[in-house]
Each structure stands twice: as structure tokens, then as C-alpha cells.
Structure 1
Amino acid sequence: MFARPKRNKQVIVDRQILYLHEVMVAKCLAEPTLFTKVLENLETRHTQGIIRYGSYLLWHSILETRDQPELFASLVLATDSRTQALRRKTIFGGVLTEAEREAALTTYIASELN
């Protein structure tokens, strides 16, 4: 078996993270009360130094668009390197149950095999 170069592994991880965020965004938009948890996560991560002030401001500005679902989704799911980095330290923890997360990953893996 050949080891994949680090870059290929990161691309695969970024695609998985993107797919999970698609699922989390859809769930948050369907259940807006989840945004309370997401905002709490943002504040906690900033206070604990897990994310820097620039990332905090960017996440906060993205969350302010939640009343415009298409814009909100496009901002969270953007494929630029800055947004990819934001998603790696996501503030959407706790939005999906473990069963939902596993189902999403199973769906993602199946889509990659086709």
C-alpha cells in the first residue's frame, strides 16, 4: 500500500469537513435555535484562545447573515483557503448528534466511491 502525499490527505479531509458543514448548515437553517449553541461555541473558542480575533470576527460576520439562508450557506461553504481554515476549527460542534455525524460521513464516503 502506498502512502498518500500529505497534500492529498489534506484535500480529502477538507472535502469531508466541507460535506459535514453542508449538513450542519442545513440543520441550523432548519432549526434556528441551534444558532444559540453555535454562538456560544464561538464565544468559548475565542475566550479560550482556540481561535484568533480575526477568525472570531469573520465567523461572527458570517453568523450575522443567518437570516439570509443562501448567503449564509455560501459564506460557510466557500472553498477559498481562508474559509477552509475556518472550518478546520469549526464553531458548529454539537450541532450534529454522533449518529447524524456518522450518517453524514457514510454518505460522503459513498459519494466518493461512485
Structure 2
Amino acid sequence: MKIQVIFLLLGTIVICLATHGFCIGPITNSRCKCVKVISSFIHPRRYQQISIFHQGSYCRKVEIVITLKHGKKVCVNPEARWVNRVVSFLNKRAERSNEVIPEESSTQ
């Protein structure tokens, strides 16, 4: 009878852990992505991609991850001056590409 109780407890624990895992989602989305951030300048020629993760329910801070051309991912300090300049440049560039140029109406 002791073996049956042990198996019952183990089964209950496994089910509870599995259910809890489904509720919080994949482990990559359930916590901050950056453990360590750097503030040193990285030249834009080395960038392959910039990802900005806004604060949410699982991470209470803004995170900026730069993927370098050779594949390495680097977390940068979003409060660093050079990072703010790069982000504002990208925002301005995105705004310019989204602007709609009004067409001139022709009267005949």
C-alpha cells in the first residue's frame, strides 16, 4: 500500500507541475531576457538586428537586444546615451517610411 501512495503523490505532483507550466507559457517568455547589460558602444555596422522588448507582466524593464552579424546576441543598457540615439534614429526612420505623401488633385 505504501507504493501506491507514493505513486499517487508522484502522479499528483507531475500533473500539478505540467498544469502550472501550461499556465505560465514557455520558459523563454516567463522572465526577462537580459541578465547582464553592457553600456559600451557597438558600431552600427556590426548590427544584424535590434530587438526592443517593452516591459510587461513578466519583466518590469525595457530590454534591448542587438544581434551582431556573426550571430552573437548582446543586451545593451537602454539608458545609455548611444542606445537612446540609435533607437530615436530608428524611430524617425520608421516614421518617415510610414508617412503618406498626399497626391495632388488635378482639375480638368
Do they fold alike, i.e. is TM over 0.5?
Answer: no
TM-score normalised by structure 1 residue count: 0.23
Between Structure 1 and Structure 2, which shows a larger proportion of strand residues?
A: 2
TM-score by length of 2: 0.24
Q: Which has the higher contact order (CA 8 A, sep 6+)?
A: 1
Query: Which one has a larger percent helix, Structure 1 or Structure 2?
Result: 1
